[in-house]
Amino acid sequence: MRLDRSAIEAAVRTAYTDHRNDSGGKNAGYIPYLASVNPDLFGVCAMTADGALFEAGDTGFEFALESISKVFSMAWAMEKVGLETFQEKVGADPTGEPFNSVISVALHGDTPVSPLVNAGAMSTVSLIPGDTAEDKWEAILQVQSAFAGRKISLSDEVNDSEQSTNFHNRAIAWLLYSGGTMYSDPMEACDVYTRQCSTLVTARDLAAMGASIANRGINPLTGDRVVSAANIPAMLAEMTMEGMYTASGDWAYRVGLPGKSGVGGGILAIMPGKLAIAGFAPPLDEVGNSVKAQRAVAQVAAALGLSIYKASEYSD
């Protein structure tokens, strides 16, 4: 399968114009900062595995990375503790429950089940080596920056907004601690997890982060290896199972690309070896996925005939 550059450019542009005026959804309301972001912002990007960027709309606007950060912390934790240990300590199955579900944790003996829900992401953070919270945080910030190919920073405004309202996540962190699946101080893990959600990225950054995954762990913009190629399949598998929360199965049927969304309005989808598609629009559906970004990313994938489940149709 060869991806024609003019076809990618047209697909991105058309997805943007087709969905620019779509309505529906609501900004995340439980984090005050996110509720205040302009709901009309909308951007669509694609970046090929060799670093060519295609973009339309508000692709330079910085928004909160939120849950998409879970993918990159997962990458780093696997790198540090090894894939098998990571899978054994955090889990690798879909939960079938909302991303912040206490029920899922309770049903599974106070264990997280997946690294891409809040519970698993906090457990993941607790596995990241570092003597202090600052050490872990620095490592995570560096990993996000390496995937993006530029220095990613914390937004104090987003972080303050989240830290002063993250009581639900704190409760989950203590449940995991009682279940033996929190491998550091639970409040420290919750604090660092909250910070990793509060960094700012653009849709362009998101596309570059995804292109680094599509390019088997090498950032195409910097040429740096950001994760072992051997850990990429687990990341993609996890994104397929849990990346779009309780809509992951529907997304797999309809779109066929490993994806990850965040309540900041970002969505990332990966065609392994080929390209990443990124979208951003703040209003979310009930599940927590951006309404417009979902449609736009799905449309780009369909226009280019991309799906990991169609591999038998590709001639090269």
Ligand X SMILES: NC(=O)CC[C@H](N)C(=O)O
104 versus 118: smaller Cβ distance to ligand X? 118
100 versus 104: smaller Cβ distance to ligand X? 100
Contact yes or no for 86/129 (Cβ under 8 A): no
Is residue 288 a contact residue for ligand X (CB under 6 A)?
yes
220 versus 262: smaller Cβ distance to ligand X? 262
For strand 43-48 and strand 259-261, is the pairing parallel, antiparallel, or unpaired? unpaired
Residue 263 labeled ligand binder: yes
100 versus 240: smaller Cβ distance to ligand X? 100
Is residue 92 a contact residue for ligand X (CB under 6 A)?
no
Selected binder of ligand X within 99, 147, 177, 280 (CB under 6 A): 99
Selected binder of ligand X within 112, 115, 262, 279 (CB under 6 A): 262
- DSSP letter string, 205-262: HHHHHHHHHHTTTB-TTT--B-S-GGGHHHHHHHHHHHTTGGGHHHHHHHT-S-EEE-
Selected binder of ligand X within 73, 95, 169, 290 (CB under 6 A): 169
Q: Could you tell me which residues come within 8 angstroms of residue 6 by beta carbon, excluding any fewer than 6 positions away?
A: none
Q: Which residue is associated with the tokens 């914390």?
A: 154
Least distance between ligand X and beta carbon 164 (Å): 13
d(CA 263, CA 65): 8
What token pair was written down for 103? 């029920």
Least distance between ligand X and beta carbon 220 (Å): 26
Q: How many alpha carbons fall within 13 Å on the CB side of residue 300?
A: 39
d(CA 25, CA 151): 31
- In the region spanning residues 22 to 61, those forming contacts with ligand X, defined by CB under 6 A, are none
Is residue 100 a contact residue for ligand X (CB under 6 A)?
yes
Question: Phi, psi (5° rounding) for residue 288?
Answer: 110, 15
Own/partner long-range contacts of 167-175 (Cβ < 8 Å, ≥24 apart) = 168/100, 168/102, 169/100, 169/118, 169/122, 169/193, 169/194, 171/102, 172/100, 172/102, 172/105, 172/118, 172/119, 172/122, 173/122, 175/102, 175/105, 175/106, 175/110, 175/119
Residue 314 labeled ligand binder: no
Least distance between ligand X and beta carbon 132 (Å): 22
Residue 177 labeled ligand binder: no
Least distance between ligand X and beta carbon 158 (Å): 9
11 versus 189: smaller Cβ distance to ligand X? 189
Is residue 79 a contact residue for ligand X (CB under 6 A)?
no
127 versus 263: smaller Cβ distance to ligand X? 263
Residue 242 labeled ligand binder: no
Selected binder of ligand X within 239, 263, 293, 298 (CB under 6 A): 263
User: Which residues lie across from 284 on neighbouring strands?
Assistant: 26, 290
64 versus 143: smaller Cβ distance to ligand X? 64
Helices of type H across the chain = 5-19, 32-35, 69-81, 83-90, 102-107, 118-127, 133-148, 156-163, 167-179, 186-197, 203-214, 232-242, 248-254, 291-303
Residue 67 labeled ligand binder: yes
Least distance between ligand X and beta carbon 148 (Å): 17
Least distance between ligand X and beta carbon 303 (Å): 27
Selected binder of ligand X within 55, 79, 162, 188 (CB under 6 A): 162
Size of the site for ligand X (CB under 6 A): 11
Using CB under 6 A, list all residues that contact ligand X: 66-67, 99-100, 118, 162, 169, 197, 262-263, 288
Annotated binding residues, as ranges?
Answer: 67, 118, 162, 169, 193, 245, 263
Binding-site residue numbers for substrate are 67, 118, 162, 169, 193, 245, 263
